[in-house]
């Protein structure tokens, strides 16, 4: 199989290029894209990419595979290969540090902005803040995000305004804390999101939903935030 | 907090709501005018004049006109802040964006006044 990998080393290259590798896939076995990357690295040790858990938990190996973002470790080659060719590029919209490794600072900055931690002004109880099973169930589909950035980097609104639009990953987490019965800073959180950019740059094209490797739905969470802002504003 | 001084409402939820409400008003106006065009027999100047001579139709048209201007401004402002950014145009982005927004505003004001002149002269 022909694997075409985006190569760019800012220390030696003036511009990025695509480099082709001929990879022999073992018969009768569907490999993951991360395994193919390892085979390419066996041929050329200078190929750079991030990886860690190799089972879709850490979110390190988010890349663009034949035009669609995903985690290389849990994406079978058969599901992305087209005409016997696999094109691997870094996540779009973020500066490239080297090859498939991107600078995620802009992504993390937006995550930091939504204050992704419980805020509660009430005196702490002796043991822990309790939550009913119903309230806990509201966090399902929100807390599972692994911050791989596949969603935000597939969102054109995040490409255009990464410093102003929170992006789907950040907004999913923003709603995770807005929906949490133990958090008392709902008003302050909403006040931070009511401007024309932070939430409202979402045009509902749902690229985020189609690429999320954990099957989450940021568009739905953004809709809930919008409803909360609407209730607060009218 | 992200700030913006040229958006219509300086607030995302306000712009979002105006965009939706104005879209509904415009849909209602075009459906009604379309209905009149297809059912008027004969469709001539007198029928057209009689339609717009009614006070409620003038108010409806004026509301549709305000909706059109607000809808267009929010849309064009969004386009300008999506594409005419420093990331894409470099240091000239603010000037280009402001000029684009200014031209849009002038065009909208001209169309608004012109439409009112037409509406009240029928």
Report the SS3 class of residue A174: helix
Look at residues B22, A127, A3 and name the one whose alpha carbon lies nearest to residue B14: B22
Mind telling me how many Å the CA of B67 is from chain A's nearest CA? 19
How many domains are there within chain A? 2
Match 């923003």 to its residue by tokens.
A174
Instruction: Kindly state whether residues A20 and A6 are assigned to the same domain.
Output: yes
Percent of chain B exceeding pLDDT 70 equals 98
Read off the pLDDT of each residue in B31-55 and give the average, rounded to a whole number.
91
Q: How many angstroms separate the CA atoms of B64 and B61, rounded? A: 5
Boundaries of domain holding A56: 2-102
Same domain, A98 and A109: no
What Å distances lie between residue A104 and A64, A170, A172, CA to CA?
A: 15, 13, 17
Using a CB–CB cutoff of 8 Å, tell me whether B11 touches chain A: yes
Same domain, residue pair A33 and A125: no
pTM of the model: 0.91
Q: Would you state the structure tokens that stand for residue B120, as one six-digit string? A: 């009240």
Taking each helix axis from N to C end, the angle separating B93-121 and B55-83, rounded to the nearest 10 degrees, works out to 170
| Domain CATH number, residue A189 | 1.10.1060.10
The string of DSSP letters for A189-209 reads HHHTT-STTTTTT-----HHH
Q: Report the CATH number that the domain containing residue A93 is assigned in CATH.
A: 3.10.20.30
> In the predicted model, what is the mean pLDDT of residues A12-37?
94
**So what's the pLDDT on residue A233?**
85
Domain identity same for A56 and A167: no
Find the mean pLDDT for residues A13-29.
Answer: 93
Beta pairing partners, A19? A5
Q: Are A153 and A93 in contact (CB under 8 A)?
A: yes
ipTM for the assembly: 0.84
**For A165-222, how does the pLDDT look when each residue is reduced to its tens digit (9 = 90+)?**
999 999 999 999 999 999 999 999 999 999 999 999 999 999 999 999 999 999 999 9
* Domain positions in chain B: 12-121
Q: How far apart are CA A39 and CA A81, in angstroms?
A: 16
DSSP β-bridge partners for residue A68: A65
| A114 and A92 part of one domain | no
Q: Answer whether A73's CB lies under 8 Å from A34's CB.
A: yes
With an 8 Å Cβ cutoff, are B13 and A197 in contact? no
CATH fold for the domain made of B12-121: 3 helical TM bundles of succinate and fumarate reductases (1.20.1300)
Q: Which of B1, B2, B87 to mutate against chain A (most A CBs within 10 Å)?
A: B2
Shared domain check, A52 and A10: yes
Give the model's pLDDT for residue B102. 96
Phi and psi (nearest 5°) for A128? Answer: -160, 165
Same domain, yes or no, for A112 and A219? yes
State residue B1's pLDDT score: 59
Instruction: Give the per-residue pLDDT at A15.
Output: 95
For residue B2, the model assigns a pLDDT of 67
HSE value, Cβ hemisphere, 13 Å, CA-based, for B46? 2
pLDDT at B33 over 70: yes
Three-state DSSP at A9 gives coil
* pLDDT reading at A41 higher than 90: yes
CB of B64 closer than 8 Å to CB of B22: no
User: 3-class DSSP state for residue A62?
Assistant: strand
Last residue of a domain, one of A102, A120, A140: A102
Q: Do residues A87 and A109 share a domain?
A: no
What local confidence, expressed as pLDDT, does residue B13 receive?
92
pLDDT tens digit string along B11-30?
A: 899 999 999 999 999 999 99
Q: State which of A102, A127, A147 marks the end of a domain.
A: A102
Fill in the DSSP letter of residue A143.
T
Residues A137 and A73 occupy one common structural domain: no
- Biggest CA-to-CA distance, chain A: 62
Phi/psi at B18 (5° precision): -60, -40
* Mean pLDDT value across chain B: 92
Q: Tens digit of pLDDT for each residue in A54-110?
A: 999 999 999 999 999 999 999 999 999 999 899 999 999 999 999 999 999 999 999
CA-to-CA distance for B117 and A130, rounded, in angstroms?
65
Contact between residue A13 and residue A29 where contact means Cβ atoms under 8 Å apart: no
What pLDDT score was predicted for residue B87? Answer: 87
pLDDT at A50 over 90: yes
**Cα gap A199→A218, rounded to integer Å:** 11
CB contact under 8 A, B1 and A191: yes
Mean pLDDT, rounded, of chain A? 96
Is the CB of B85 less than 8 angstroms away from the CB of A194?
A: no
A110 shares its domain with A190:
yes
Task: Specify whether A79 is located in the same domain as A44.
Answer: yes
| Number of Cβ pairs < 8 A linking chain A and chain B | 56
Cβ distance A48 to A61 under 8 Å?
Answer: no
| Sequence-ordered list of residues with C-beta below 8 angstroms from that of A75, at least 6 positions apart, any chain | A32, A33, A65, A213
Last residue of a domain, one of A102, A120, A139: A102
Co-location of A132 and A205 in the same domain: yes
End-to-end CA distance of chain A: 58
CB-based contact (8 Å) between B86 and chain A?
A: no
Cis ω for the linkage preceding A146 (within 30 of 0): no
Give the closest of A157, A161, A194 to B12, CB-based.
A194
């Amino acid at each position: 199989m022909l694997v075409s990998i985006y190569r760019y080393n800012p220390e030696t290259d003036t511009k990025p290029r695509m480099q082709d590798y001929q990879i022999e896939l073992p018969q009768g076995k569907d490999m993951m894209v991360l395994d193919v990357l390892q085979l390419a690295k066996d041929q050329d040790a200078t190929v750079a990419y991030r990886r860690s858990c190799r089972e879709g938990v850490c979110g390190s190996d988010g890349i663009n595979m034949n035009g669609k973002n995903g985690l290389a470790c849990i994406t079978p080659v058969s599901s992305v290969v087209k005409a016997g060719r696999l094109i691997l590029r870094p996540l779009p919209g973020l500066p490239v540090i080297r090859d498939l490794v991107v600078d995620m600072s802009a992504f993390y900055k937006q995550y930091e902005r939504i204050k992704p931690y419980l805020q509660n002004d009430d005196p702490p109880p002796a043991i822990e803040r309790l939550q009913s099973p119903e309230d806990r169930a509201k966090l399902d589909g929100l807390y599972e995000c692994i911050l791989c950035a596949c969603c935000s980097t597939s969102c054109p609104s995040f490409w255009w305004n990464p410093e102003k639009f929170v992006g789907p990953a950040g907004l999913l987490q923003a709603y995770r804390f807005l929906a949490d019965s133990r958090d008392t800073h709902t008003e302050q959180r909403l006040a931070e999101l009511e401007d024309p950019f932070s939430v409202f740059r979402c045009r509902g094209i749902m690229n985020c939903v189609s690429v999320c490797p954990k099957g989450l739905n940021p568009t739905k969470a953004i809709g809930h935030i919008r409803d909360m802002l609407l209730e607060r504003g009218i | 907090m992200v700030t913006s001084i040229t958006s219509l409402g300086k607030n995302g939820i306000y712009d979002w709501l105006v965009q939706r409400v104005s879209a509904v008003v415009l849909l209602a106006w075009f459906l009604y005018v379309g209905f009149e065009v297809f059912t008027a027999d004969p469709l001539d100047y007198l029928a057209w004049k009689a339609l717009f001579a009614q006070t409620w139709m003038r108010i409806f048209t004026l509301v549709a006109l305000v909706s059109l201007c607000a809808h267009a401004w929010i849309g064009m402002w969004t386009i300008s802040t999506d594409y005419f950014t420093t990331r894409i145009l470099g240091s000239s982005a603010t000037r280009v964006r402001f000029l684009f927004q200014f031209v849009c505003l002038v065009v909208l004001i001209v169309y608004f006044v012109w439409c009112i002149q037409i509406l009240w002269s029928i």
